[in-house]
Amino acid sequence: MVFEELAVEVLAEPPTDEARREVIALVELVRADPRAWPDVRDPGSIEEIREAFGAHCWIQFMPFAGAIEVREIGWVG
């Protein structure tokens, strides 16, 4: 698992400990089956960008070589 710099910064300061646990659980779920989540890349883009949503968080990621690269993390609410 690889986290982009901005994702690392966001994960370092979640709104609550519960939020941090939720995003980690979502990342683990995505890592197990990354292509089960919708592809949201822009038309013509060669990068495969996917998004996954939890109850209070979301992540944007790229699957590659049996791993995922987390590009963005967001909090709902």
Query: What is the pLDDT at residue 75?
Result: 81
Residue-range definition of the domain harbouring residue 56: 2-39+47-75
CB within 8 Å of 59: residues ≥ 6 apart: 7, 23, 26, 27, 30, 51, 52, 70, 71, 72, 73, 74
List 72's β-bridge partners, or say none.
60
Which pLDDT belongs to residue 25?
A: 93
Structural domain total, the chain: 1
User: Is the pTM here over 0.85, yes or no?
Assistant: no
Phi, psi of 58 (to 5 degrees): -145, 160
Mean pLDDT by 10 residues, the chain (77 residues): 63 75 91 93 92 92 88 81
Residues in a beta bridge with 2:
69
**CATH number, domain containing residue 68:** 3.30.2310.20
